[in-house]
Structure 1
C-alpha cells in the first residue's frame, strides 16, 4: 500500500504561516496618532472608475444623461454623490422662481409665471400692493361726493320716473272710481264712492250688475299696472346699466395708472403683461366685491371679512418655488419618493360635502425644488412607491412637470378638479442602488437606457497599496474629528487596515464599505473612553471587533453546542469510510459564520448513477445539483473510458433540513465517493471545502475564513489532536485573513491548513494513501494506490453484473 506519500503531501501542501493573513506593520506610518496626520482626502476612496463616471454624468448637459450609481451599500456612494453634486451646483446659475396665479379666463387651469431667483417674492409683493392700492382708490372713489352725486341723481331720476308712472296709474284708476293700494307682496284695487272706499258691507249691498262692472274696471286697471311694472323694470335695467358703465369707467380710470406701473416694470415678460391685462379687466367686471356692504352687524362681521378674503384670493400670487437667497443650483435628496413628493400635489378642503381647492393649494414636489439642479433618489425606495417610477419617467421624457392627483380617479367623493399649467423641467437625476436594481430596470424597462445613459459602478474593494492605505488613514482622522472620537494610534490604524482586508477576504485588497469601518471606529473609541485611555490603541480595535461578533453570533454558538453535545453528529477524530466533514457558510442579516456538516456516501452495484438525496427531496438548489453531475463526469472520465460504470451511489448532507445550494462541497462529496468505492477510510479530523471540475481540478470558493474558523472552534471544543485541519483550494490562499487565535494554534502545530489543486492531492491528505491517478504503460493505475482500489471495485461491479442471469421476456401465447 502506498502510504509514504501521506507525510510528503501534507508537508508539501501545508500553507506557510506567513500566508495565513496579511499584516500591516505600524512602522510604515510616519505619525504617532491620527492627530499628527495633516493630509486629508475629499474624494471617495478607491472608486476612480465611479468618480470619473459621476463627473462625466454631472458635466453633460444633453438630455438622457442621468446617472445610475450602482454598487453595494456602505461604500459611501450616497454621501459622495451629494458632495459632488453640490460642488457642481456651485458653478451653475440659480434657477428661476415659479409662481402660480389665477387664470381669469379658465379658473381650473392656474397659470405658471417664471421670475429670476428672488423676484417671485417681489412680484408677490407688487401684486399685494396693487390690490391694496386699488381697494383704497376704489374706496375713495365710491365715497367721493361727485360719484355719489351722479349715483344719487340716477337713482333719483329712477324714483321720480317710477313715482310719476304710479301717479298715472292711480289717476287712471280714479277715473274708473277705483283706488290702488301697494304693499311689499301685492298690488290691490278697491272701489271708491263719493271719494271714499267702500266697506265690505257696502260692497256686498251692490247688485250683480255693478259688481260685474267693477270687475271689468279692475281688469283694465290691472292691465295698466302690468304695463307700468314692465316699463319700470325696463327703466331700472337702463339705470343699472348706466350706473354700471359709470362705475366701470371710473374703475378703468382708477386702476389703469397702477397697472401701467407694473406693466412698465415687467415689460420684458409677455406672460406677466397678459396676466396684468386680465387682472385689470376682471376687477372691472367684478367691481361689486370691492363695494362694502352698508349693513354689517357683529354677528356676521367675521363671516363677511372671511368671505371678502376668499373673494379677493383670485387677485393674489402663490409663491410655488422660491429660490431667493440661494446661490448656485439646488441639490435635493428625496428620501421618500412617493408620486406626490416627486411630482407635487393639489390639496383639498371639505366644503359642504365636496372637496374644493384653489391655485394657492398647489404644492411643489422634489422635481420642482430640484429644477435647474440635481435630484438624488434611492432606486429601492423609488420602485417601492406606486406610480413613482412611471411618473418620473414621464416627466423626464417630456421635459416638463405636470401636476395631477392620480388619486382622483379612484375617489368616491366629488372634487373640484384642477390642472395647473406645466412647468419646464431641466434636472439631472441620480439614482442610487444595488447592481440588482440596475439589471432589473435595464432588462424590464426599455426607457431606462434612454433616460439613464451613465452608469457609475461602485465596487466593494480596492487594491491594498500605499496610496489607498494613506487615504484610509486620512479617512480615520477626518471621521474621528467629525464624530469627536479619541485619536487613533498607528497600531490601531494598522489593525483596522487588516480588518478591512478581512471584510472582503483578500490579502491584496481593502474594503470600500467604510460604513463597516466606522462602526469599529466608534466602538473602539468607546472602549478607550471606558478605560480612561487618551488614545485608541490596537487592543481597543480588537475588542470592538470581538464585541461586535459576540453580539451577533448567538446562533453560531448554539449550533456549535449541538455538535459538541452530539445532537449534530460531526466527528473530529478517527477514520470513517464514505464519511467526511464538509464546510458551509451560514449567515444572518449582519453576520456570517462557518459550520461543519457530515457528508456520507454509499456505493453499490447497479446502474442508477449518483443520486443526490437532497435533490430527490427538493432540498437541493440548481448549483448544488450541477456540482453532483460534475462528479459523474469525473468518474466516467477517469474510470469509464471503454465501458459505462455499473454504479449506484447516494450522497447526502446528514442532519440538514434546509435548502442546500452552491458547489463548494462538490470536491468534498467526490472525496467521500472515492473513499466508499476504494473502501479506504477518511480522517475525520480534516474538513474540506472547494468545488471541482470534471477533470478533478479544485476550484475556488467563498467564505474560506469563516469555514476554517468554524471547524477550528468545533475541534477546539472537542479537543485538539494536532492532526486536525482544513483542506482548501490553492486559489483561496490569497483570501486567507484568519484571526489571531487560529494563527497561533497553527503556529504551535495543533491545527493545519492545506491548499490543494487536484482531487489526487486532497485524497492523499485525507486517507494517507497515494492517489496514483496516472496510469502506467499498461493503462492501469499503480498497485496499492487509491485509484487502483476504486478501479478494482468497479471491475467487481462489472463482474457482478455479468454473472447475473439475463431476464427473459415472455411472449404472449398464441392459440392455433
Structure 2
C-alpha cells in the first residue's frame, strides 16, 4: 500500500511575524519622518516642482489612511521650489466702467498701492508727477506703470463708475500650497456677483471674488480630482487655463439674469497637483488626450512598507511621527511589538508594515485612553491588545449572528467525522460594512452521464464570473486525468449548500475539486478539515485573499464546539507570507489542538482530507469508469429480449 505523503503542520511561530525581534531594532534616538516609504512618490513630485512650464503638473495617487497634507508639507519643505506670489488688484478703467484693469504688485503691497493711488488722485498737479514716480520706483510693476500712464491727470471724478479698486489677492504671509478640496466653480475659479440698483442689474469691482486658482497663482494649487470631475465643465475650464496660462472671467449671471462685465484676464503661472485614487488617474489617461501632456508626473503614494527591501529602523521614525501626531503617552517595548503586529495585519503580509497613519493613530489614542484610565505612565501591550479586542467586538455583531446559526445547526456545518462528497470550504462574507470568514458546506453527487460537471450556483444564476471560471478549470483538470482517451460516463453536480447569495471568486476551487474526486471515488473526506485555495488546470494550488479572516472564522466555530485536535485548515503554500493570526490560534496550534497545513498541489490536500494515497483515489475512479464502459458495451435487457425473439 502506498504511503501517505502528508504535508507537515505549520508551527505556531509561522503564524505571525516575529515582532519581538523587529521591536528590538528600534533606534535609541527617533525623529519624525512622515515620508518614510514614500521615496518613489517624493522623487516624482520633486521632479514636477523643479521643472517650470505649463506641461509639468503632477497627479498624486493617494491611498486611504495616509495624511496627504503632511506628505505635501514635508515634500515641499525638502525641495527647492520657490513660489513667486504677487498681489493682484482690479482698478477702475479710465475708458470703461465695465472693463476693469488687472494690475500686479509685489506680494504684500496691494493695500499700500490702493492708499497711494487714492492720494494720487487727490493730489495737486504739482505733486502728481512726484507721487507717480515714487509709486513706480517703490513697487516695480510694469502693469502698475502702464496704469499710471493711462491715468494721466485724471481725478477720481473723471473715472467711470463709483469704485476705484478691489484687492483680489493679497499675500500678507505666504503658505506652501493652497488646497481646494471642496471644489465648486466659485471655490476654484471665483465669481462675479450681480447687484440690483433701482431695478438695474449690474456688477462692480467689489463684487469680484477670487477662487483658489488665483490665490495660488505663482505657487502650488492642490485640487481634489474626484470633486473636480463631479462638477460638469470644471475640468475642461481648468485645462484651458493651464494650456493658455491665462484666466478669463465668465460673464456674471445665468441664463435668465445677466449683465455685461468683463474684467481684464489675469496671467496664470502656477503648479497644479491633482489628488485622487488610481481609478480616476486611469480614467483621465484613457478618456482625455490632453491629460498626459499636462500631468506627466505620477506621484504614487505607498500604503505599505516592505521590511525586506528597506531597513526596519526607518519605520520606527515613521511611528515616531504617528506617535507625535496622536499626542499620546510613551510606548513600552512590548507595546511597540504589539503595534507592529497590527501594522502587519492590515497589510495582509508578514514582511510589510502599514503606512495607514490614521488607523495607527486611532489605535494609539484608544490604547492611550485605557492607559490613562488605569493611571499608567506608558502604554503597554495589554492596552494595545485590549483596544484591538474592543474594535473586533464593535464590528463583530453580524459575524456572531452568522456563527450562532452554525452552532445552533440552522446552518449545517460538520466539524467532525467523515462523509463522501462533502467538504468544508472557507469563505469571506461581506455584509453590513464588515467582512468576516466562515465555513461553507460544499457537496457533490455523481450520476451516469457524459462527463459534465453541473454547477448548481451557475444554473440558479447565483454564480459570479470568477467562480464560474474556477469550476471550468477544475472540470478541465478532471477531464485531463480521466477523459484523455475516452469519454467519461459519469457526470456530477456541485453546490454550496444553504447559500442564498451570489458566490464569486475561485478560492473554493481546491475544496470543490476534492469534493468532486471524493464523490467520483466514493471515498469519504475528513469533516474536521476545512480548505481554501484556487487551482489551475494542472492541480497547482494558487494564492487566495483574506486567508487570516477565513482561518479565524473556522477556528471560532471549532473553538465554540470544542477543539479536538482533529480540526484544522488547509491553505495554499503561497499564502504563508500573509499569515498573521490571533494568539488564540497560535496557542491552539502549539498545544496540537488545531492544525494548519500548507499545500502546493491539490493531491496533497486530497490525501489530507481522504487519508488515502492519491494514486489509490485515482485508481478507484478509473476502475469505476471502466466498469461503466464495459456495461455500456453489453446489450440492455430489452435488446437481449428482442434478439431472442
The TM-score normalised by the length of structure 2 is 0.92
Runs of 4+ residues deviating >6 angstroms: 804-808
CA distance in 2, matches of 1:695, 1:30: 44
Which residue does the alignment assign to 2:442? 599
Within 5 Å, give how 1:172-571 maps onto structure 2.
Answer: 255=125, 257-258=127-128, 261-262=131-132, 265-266=135-136, 269=141, 271-279=143-151, 283=155, 313-314=162-163, 316-326=164-174, 330-352=176-198, 355-404=201-250, 408-409=253-254, 411-412=255-256, 414-464=257-307, 468-571=311-414
CA distance in 1, matches of 2:425, 2:324: 47
CA offset at residue 485 of structure 1? 0.9
Which residue does the alignment assign to 1:613? 456
Which residue does the alignment assign to 2:618? 787
CA distance in 1, matches of 2:601, 2:518: 16
Which stretches in structure 1 are left out of the alignment for 5+ residues? 135-253, 290-310, 773-784, 809-816
Q: Is the 8 A contact 1:338 1:386 kept in 2?
A: no
CA distance in 2, matches of 1:353, 1:798: 98
Which residue does the alignment assign to 1:695? 538
Could you list the per-position Cα deviations for residues 421-448 of structure 1 after superposition, in whole angstroms to 9, with x for gaps in the alignment? Answer: 2211111111222211211211121111
Distance 1:604 1:27, change over 3 A: closer
Which residue does the alignment assign to 2:12? 17
Distance 1:544 1:770, change over 3 A: same
CA offset at residue 745 of structure 1? 0.7
Could you list the per-position Cα deviations for residues 173-215 of structure 1 after superposition, in whole angstroms to 9, with x for gaps in the alignment? Answer: xxxxxxxxxxxxxxxxxxxxxxxxxxxxxxxxxxxxxxxxxxx
Distance 1:790 1:459, change over 3 A: farther
**Correspondence 1:645 to 2:488:** yes
Question: Secondary structure at the residue paired with 1:766?
Answer: helix
Distance 1:419 1:661, change over 3 A: farther
Could you list the per-position Cα deviations for residues 430-487 of structure 1 after superposition, in whole angstroms to 9, with x for gaps in the alignment? Answer: 1222211211211121111111101122222222259643233333334334443111
Q: Is the 8 A contact 2:322 2:357 kept in 1?
A: no
Could you list the per-position Cα deviations for residues 628-654 of structure 1 after superposition, in whole angstroms to 9, with x for gaps in the alignment? Answer: 110111011111111232342222222
Distance 1:445 1:94, change over 3 A: closer
Q: Is the 8 A contact 2:180 2:223 kept in 1?
A: yes
Distance 1:640 1:114, change over 3 A: same
Q: Is the 8 A contact 1:343 1:391 kept in 2?
A: no
**Correspondence 1:53 to 2:48:** no
Question: Secondary structure at the residue paired with 1:25?
Answer: helix
Question: Secondary structure at the residue paired with 2:346?
Answer: helix
Q: Mark the structure with the bigger radius of gyration.
A: 1
Of 390, 413, 417 in structure 2, the residue corresponding to residue 574 of structure 1 is 417
Q: Is the 8 A contact 2:87 2:108 kept in 1?
A: yes
Q: Is the 8 A contact 2:34 2:321 kept in 1?
A: no
Q: Is the 8 A contact 2:329 2:377 kept in 1?
A: yes
CA offset at residue 757 of structure 1? 0.9
Q: Is the 8 A contact 1:378 1:431 kept in 2?
A: yes
CA distance in 2, matches of 1:271, 1:603: 88
**RMSD, aligned CA:** 2.7
CA distance in 1, matches of 2:619, 2:200: 91
Which residue does the alignment assign to 1:766? 609
> Which sits farther off after the overlay, 345-354 or 374-383?
345-354
Which stretches in structure 2 are left out of the alignment for 5+ residues? 640-645
Q: Is the 8 A contact 1:98 1:322 kept in 2?
A: yes
Q: Is the 8 A contact 1:102 1:110 kept in 2?
A: yes
CA offset at residue 419 of structure 1? 2.6
CA offset at residue 336 of structure 1? 0.6
CA distance in 2, matches of 1:26, 1:452: 43
CA distance in 2, matches of 1:629, 1:693: 10
Could you list the per-position Cα deviations for residues 552-577 of structure 1 after superposition, in whole angstroms to 9, with x for gaps in the alignment? Answer: 11111111111111122211112121
Which residue does the alignment assign to 1:225? none
CA offset at residue 259 of structure 1? 5.7
CA offset at residue 747 of structure 1? 0.9
Q: Is the 8 A contact 1:579 1:598 kept in 2?
A: yes
Which residue does the alignment assign to 2:111? 121
Q: Is the 8 A contact 1:45 1:468 kept in 2?
A: no
Q: Is the 8 A contact 1:330 1:371 kept in 2?
A: no
Question: Secondary structure at the residue paired with 1:533?
Answer: coil
Which residue does the alignment assign to 1:241? none
> Which sits farther off after the overlay, 637-646 or 68-77?
68-77
Of 107, 111, 127 in structure 1, the residue corresponding to residue 97 of structure 2 is 107
Question: Secondary structure at the residue paired with 1:504?
Answer: coil
CA distance in 1, matches of 2:83, 2:220: 13
CA offset at residue 312 of structure 1? 6.1
Q: Is the 8 A contact 1:619 1:658 kept in 2?
A: yes
CA offset at residue 272 of structure 1? 3.1
The TM-score normalised by the length of structure 1 is 0.73
CA distance in 2, matches of 1:269, 1:762: 80
Distance 1:26 1:789, change over 3 A: closer
Distance 1:490 1:682, change over 3 A: same
Distance 1:378 1:608, change over 3 A: farther
CA offset at residue 333 of structure 1? 1.4
Could you list the per-position Cα deviations for residues 764-795 of structure 1 after superposition, in whole angstroms to 9, with x for gaps in the alignment? Answer: 000111111xxxxxxxxxxxx00111222333
Of 568, 574, 583 in structure 1, the residue corresponding to residue 426 of structure 2 is 583
CA offset at residue 763 of structure 1? 0.5
Distance 1:87 1:730, change over 3 A: closer
Distance 1:86 1:588, change over 3 A: farther
- In terms of fraction of residues, the more helix-rich structure is 1
**Correspondence 1:660 to 2:503:** yes
Question: Secondary structure at the residue paired with 1:701?
Answer: coil
Which residue does the alignment assign to 2:642? none
Question: Secondary structure at the residue paired with 1:593?
Answer: strand
CA offset at residue 85 of structure 1? 2.3
Q: Is the 8 A contact 1:259 1:276 kept in 2?
A: no
Of 77, 82, 99 in structure 1, the residue corresponding to residue 73 of structure 2 is 82
CA distance in 2, matches of 1:63, 1:578: 66
Question: Secondary structure at the residue paired with 1:446?
Answer: coil
Q: Is the 8 A contact 2:34 2:74 kept in 1?
A: no
